[in-house]
Structure 1
Amino acid sequence: MPDKLLPTLPDDDANFLQRFQPSRLVLPVLLGLAVVGFLFYRSYRPGDLAPLAHADWRWLLVALLVLAARDLGYVYRIRHIAEAELTYRQALDVIMIWEFASCVLPSGQGGTGAAPFILEKEGIPLGRGLAYIMVTALLDNIYYVLMVPLVVLVAGAGLYPHEALQTGFVATLRVAFGVSYVFVTLYAGLMLYAIFVNPRSVRRLLVRLFSVKLLRRWRRKAYKHGQEMVTASVQLRGNGARYWWHAAVSTAFVWTARYAIIGCLIAAFVPMSAGTFLFIFARNITYKVILLIAITPGGAGIAEGAFPTFFGSFIGTATMTSFMVLLYRVVTYYLYLLLGSIFLPRWVARVFIKRPAKAATV
């Protein structure tokens, strides 16, 4: 996107687009590729990549279909949650820009922080947009809360990589996983209560909690978040069972597809049973904890570095594992950097440029 367009836009718009300048892509791409290059350099042995010649291309096709189904599921979900205020074209743009934002912003922020602004530029008022984003966050959290007990049941102690049992990594991961689960459960419960029971009491609770000296610096943000819950409650309470059922099913669909990608890719090169596939699916949930706490854009470097620890034992040689790291990041990260780079200029031209010009002629 040309820099010369930025000065012609309002400050909020310019600041938003500034975060997606091409120069911002250089660091995460170089960081991720540097880690993959180091993994290949350290692990390469002649003949280790022989399984590539015997790949089961049907599984690669399944992986691409799962990826496409996931994105179409996201498009359907955001359009349904937004009560059909978006066309399918708009919903596709929203999801692609959202995914792009998740790739170029730190994992802690992700695309969720940018999503209300994206929806506002599509003509959805900020209050309603915040309500819709809160629905996606609530349903995402509920999926996580419900799935964790199931994957613990499936994987048991194998939920954590045995390869690192002799280090402090697994102990740290168990603590992080437990803390994240408790936090997400409490947060999901708080959101449910705030949206459907008494949002104003939750707002007061947040303000009082963040009035404590150690937390006082975040009090204003806590009040703002509480106010967002009040707004969401007003917007969403009238929606019937059909609305929530479709939103919940589409959420389960997209997240299940998201967690299944790694298993599909590995199955293309390593024969596996259904039990092993489910085991990889379960371990993927603990792998995502690493990405949630990553401070780099899109988890670049950290995702690549942690992958062999979690999934190397299912793949075989270290060289094949390094190849799988690259393949996984290509289809789940670099692909969306590319798609975002294609969708973003067109989206900017549609919502920032053409719309004002049309309004001026009215």
Structure 2
Amino acid sequence: MKTQQQKMLSNFSPTKIILPILVGLGVLVYMISSDDSINYDVIVDNLKNLSLWWVFASFLVLFGRDFGYMYRIRELTDKKLNWNSSFYVIMLWEFASAVTPSVVGGTTLAVFIMNKEKIPFGKALSFVMLTAVLDNLFFVTASLLVIALFPGSIFPANNYSAEILGLTLGLKQLFAISVTLILLYTLLMAWGLFIGPKSFKKFLWFLTSTRFTKRWRKSAVKSGNEMILAANELKGHPKSYWIKVISSTVFIWTARYAMLNCLINAFLHIDLFTLTSTDIHNQFLIFGRQIVMWIVMLVSPTPGSAGTAEYFFGEFFKEFFSNGGIVLVVALFWRLFTYYAYLLIGVFILPRWLQKTATKKN
């Protein structure tokens, strides 16, 4: 019978690492090969004249984001994790998210990773649930805010549509469905964590009381008990605790989105010191579109939104480039920095982390 560690580590199998890479790159190759308007000379010329200052800024913002993640996890755990342990937790959490569907997000693996770093199960569970609530609240609030600020231009002017369950849906409809599901899930989680964990358990019991849903009764009871445990762990924190974790959440996601602004500026050769009003408007529009795109990507069934992210990137940002091929190159760089890099980092640090945690146990 497999141990808990063996079950969890099976999520990091070579197949689960290679598959999303092949899917993502396969989508990009298909998009490039099916677009007859791509001018490869223009792409090569753009790469030669790439603004290295903006590329450096992209890395700087990305490192800032990871530092923000480590700072938040330390504050969440009342500094029970040192900086070294925080680095392993965040990198492996990113690794777990990269090899699991976006709708799942690697949360179960994150609890396991924190537990191995000597954070008690109940506390680890509460921290992971809290980060999910905070992150989702940011997504929903920020996406509705940018829609209010850019009502006519936040969605790209194209004819994208997808058929789901017999319904033809455009980007606006996909966004509406996605943001509604995320909001309902977040409100349900917040209710369980902060208002009524016991009534949350009763609600799950009620949902699994019919003949058709009774098969999930055991899982529902387990989830209800875990919610009560997590809610108890979050009680008694001072106001400063909540200010730190909320402000760090805003910083983390602002940095994550700003990274793409820097990367696009590198290809558009934007001069920071001679920004026009149009340039400034486009910076906010790019930032806002990425928030909306992220909401659409969150319900992707593929590991790390592989394929989905590459495709929607082209849909949301191709109008900023004169050549269709350049946006696909930018998409590749974007995924290299924010996705494939963490797959590579995870492959290298996972054995070291296993050795480190085994040494701690001994």
Same fold (TM over 0.5): yes
2:236 counterpart SS class: coil
State the partner residue of 1:350. Answer: 356
State the partner residue of 1:290. Answer: 296
State the partner residue of 2:84. Answer: 89
Cα distance in 1 for residues equivalent to 2:183 and 2:306: 27
Deviation at 1:330, TM superposition (A): 0.6
Deviation at 1:192, TM superposition (A): 3.0
State the partner residue of 2:325. Answer: 319
**1:55 and 1:202, CA in 2 relative to 1: closer, same or farther beyond 3 A?**
same
State the partner residue of 1:4. Answer: none
State the partner residue of 2:15. Answer: 23
Deviation at 1:51, TM superposition (A): 2.3
Deviation at 1:142, TM superposition (A): 1.7
Deviation at 1:168, TM superposition (A): 5.4
Structure 2 counterpart of 1:116, one-letter code:
V
Match of 1:35 among 8, 27, 42: 27
Structure 2 counterpart of 1:344, one-letter code:
L
The answer to whether the aligner puts 1:219 opposite 2:205 as a matched pair is no
Deviates more, 1:171-180 or 1:15-24: 171-180
Aligned length in residues: 347
Deviates more, 1:265-274 or 1:331-340: 265-274
Structure 2 counterpart of 1:354, one-letter code:
T
Deviates more, 1:326-335 or 1:171-180: 171-180
1:157 counterpart SS class: coil
Cα distance in 1 for residues equivalent to 2:296 and 2:195: 34
Cα distance in 2 for residues equivalent to 1:35 and 1:21: 22
State the partner residue of 1:3. Answer: none
Structure 2: stretches of 5+ with no match in the other structure: 271-277
Q: After superposition, what is the alpha-carbon deviation per residue over 1:186-237, rounded to whole angstroms, capped at 9, x for unaligned?
A: 3333333333332211211222133245544433333322222211221111
**1:47 and 1:161, CA in 2 relative to 1: closer, same or farther beyond 3 A?**
same
Cα distance in 2 for residues equivalent to 1:309 and 1:60: 23
2:179, 2:295 within 8 Å by CA — same for their partners in 1?
no
Match of 2:111 among 109, 116, 120: 116
1:162 counterpart SS class: coil
Q: After superposition, what is the alpha-carbon deviation per residue over 1:143-179, rounded to whole angstroms, capped at 9, x for unaligned?
A: 12321221112221322221226x4579443233223
Deviates more, 1:300-309 or 1:46-55: 46-55
State the partner residue of 1:252. Answer: 250
TM-score by length of 2: 0.89
Structure 2 counterpart of 1:147, one-letter code:
A
**1:212 and 1:154, CA in 2 relative to 1: closer, same or farther beyond 3 A?**
farther
Match of 1:156 among 146, 151, 161: 151
Cα distance in 2 for residues equivalent to 1:213 and 1:259: 46
Cα distance in 1 for residues equivalent to 2:283 and 2:221: 44
Cα distance in 1 for residues equivalent to 2:177 and 2:241: 31
State the partner residue of 2:266. Answer: 268
The answer to whether the aligner puts 1:11 opposite 2:6 as a matched pair is no
TM-score by length of 1: 0.89
**1:109 and 1:194, CA in 2 relative to 1: closer, same or farther beyond 3 A?**
closer
1:156 counterpart SS class: coil
State the partner residue of 2:275. Answer: none
Structure 2 counterpart of 1:342, one-letter code:
F
Deviates more, 1:86-95 or 1:210-219: 210-219
**1:290 and 1:195, CA in 2 relative to 1: closer, same or farther beyond 3 A?**
closer
Cα distance in 2 for residues equivalent to 1:173 and 1:219: 36
The answer to whether the aligner puts 1:331 opposite 2:337 as a matched pair is yes
Aligned alpha-carbon RMSD (Å): 2.1
Structure 2 counterpart of 1:176, one-letter code:
L
Deviation at 1:264, TM superposition (A): 1.6
Cα distance in 2 for residues equivalent to 1:139 and 1:299: 21
Cα distance in 2 for residues equivalent to 1:89 and 1:346: 12
1:154, 1:282 within 8 Å by CA — same for their partners in 2?
no
Identity %: 36
Match of 2:239 among 222, 238, 241: 241
2:12 counterpart SS class: coil
Deviates more, 1:334-343 or 1:169-178: 169-178
Cα distance in 2 for residues equivalent to 1:274 and 1:287: 20
1:19 counterpart SS class: helix
